[in-house]
Amino acid sequence: MSKVKSGLWVQALLWRLNRLAVPVVVRQRGDGDAGAVLLKLSYLDGTALVLSQTRDGSGNPAWIRATGPDPASEEKAEAYIERSLKIDGDLWVLEIEDPRKIFAPEEPIL
pLDDT tens digits for range 58-106: 999 999 999 999 999 999 999 999 999 999 999 999 999 999 999 999 9
C-alpha to C-alpha distance for 11 and 16, rounded to whole angstroms: 9
* Full residue range of the structural domain in which residue 62 is found: 6-97
- Global pTM? 0.93
- Torsions phi, psi of 18, nearest 5? -60, -40
C-alpha to C-alpha distance for 110 and 100, rounded to whole angstroms: 22
Residue 56 placed within a domain: yes
Burial grade of 3 (CB within 10 A; 0-12, 13-18, 19 or more): exposed
Residue 109 placed within a domain: no
Residue 23 placed within a domain: yes
Tens of pLDDT, residues 15-66: 999 999 999 999 999 999 999 999 999 999 999 999 999 999 999 999 999 9
